[in-house]
Amino acid sequence: MNNFIIFGGDIPAISAFILLNKRQKRVLAFINKSNKIIRDTFSDNYSIYENEDDIPLDIINKVNKILVVNDDRNIAKKIKDNLICKLNKKILIETIYDSNYITDYLNIKLDIHSTLLNHPQDNLNENKIKKEIVRVNVNEISFEICCNNLNEYLRATTLIGESEVLSFLKKKIRPNDVFYDIGANIGTHSIFIAKCYDTVKVHSFEPEIKNYNDLLQNINYNKLTNITTHKIALGDERKNQNLYLYSENAGEGGNSIVPIKGKKTQLIDVWDLDSYRIHNKIDLPNLIKIDIEGYELQALIGMMKTLQQSKPKLLIELHPKKLLQQFGDINIVKDFLITQNYKVTDLTILERKGQLFIYAIPKF
């Protein structure tokens, strides 16, 4: 797989990202000086450097290509020529105007501009848009996402950091499996898995009210009957607890039970999975995805009986900073899973800025 850096900003850079994503190319970072829309859309998952001199050597060594994007073809060419003079000759420098990109790029860019032109600029500045329906296609699976704000729209159109995760999950799910989506957000993973096989049963766990409402909306819009939703968070015991809101917009993610300084909170219902599953008579899982912003260990402790009974496969997104904040140890989740007789594998192909992925399977 080719690893790319995108050099540029604004809608051209977003269009280029979508193009590369559709071609299953991996974007490692962006070079962009000050564009707000790029930082708002990508900074949680990708490193953004002000210029090429700021890129760390470990990233440079992984990069195969730099794709230069700009509304002005001549400026793009000048940037390309400058990069060729400065950078490692092993890195291929291309522009979005090259023949293998330009047609698809212009079509994608036109679609984005058509959507944004339907909204007053003041609304865009305030991250507000009318409801937009985005059709998502990943690994021959198609579904729709209803977008109620600009960031939600951009995340749905770009599938920032998610297409690889979805593709990985598709390889692991089987007909008639039971899938738990813990930290479901607005439902991208749940809906994708539900669409893989209509015989799969999906259980989506999402405590935040705006995300939960959008989750319900997306399930209904896709006319899915094999998803059951649960408006709770999962932890090590039943309690009411504050959820720190990374953003007040639905769909952005980052909300966490682990305290985030200066953020608003929302009181939520927390259960341990073992009690909740029995109380609500939920089928045992075969595959579990966990993305709960640093609360992974607590959730795993609360599902120990479930792990022992059904021995599900686990895809877990880890948040090292939050693990260090709580426990002073980024390996604590891995170590716990090993005590539960699981084999743990690091998934470097899914790594994103500040987050790691592990895949755990039981040792039978």
CA nearest 299: which of 215, 172, 183?
A: 183
Above 80 in pLDDT, residue 11?
Answer: yes
CA nearest 18: which of 158, 174, 195?
A: 158
C-alpha span between 150 and 139 (Å, rounded): 25
Overall average pLDDT of the 252-271 stretch: 91
213 vs 163, which has greater pLDDT?
213
Per-residue confidence band for 271, with pLDDT thresholds at 50, 70 and 90: very high
Per-residue pLDDT, 221? 93
pTM of the model: 0.83
Per-residue pLDDT, 122? 45
Overall average pLDDT of the 27-50 stretch: 80
Above 50 in pLDDT, residue 121?
Answer: no
- 149-204: pLDDT as tens digits: 777 787 788 887 788 899 999 999 999 999 999 999 999 999 999 999 999 999 99
Above 80 in pLDDT, residue 124?
Answer: no
Contacts 24+ apart (CB under 8 A), 297-301: 297/323, 297/326, 297/327, 297/332, 297/333, 297/336, 298/234, 298/235, 298/236, 298/257, 299/182, 299/234, 299/235, 299/236, 299/273, 300/333, 300/336, 300/337, 300/340, 301/236, 301/272, 301/336
Domains, in order of start, for the chain: 3-113 (3.40.50.720), 159-362 (3.40.50.150)
Above 80 in pLDDT, residue 290?
Answer: yes
Instruction: Please name the residues in contact with 353: beta carbons below 8 A apart, sequence gap of 6 or more.
Output: 43, 44, 45, 46, 47
H or E stretch at 269: strand 265-272
H or E stretch at 152: helix 150-158
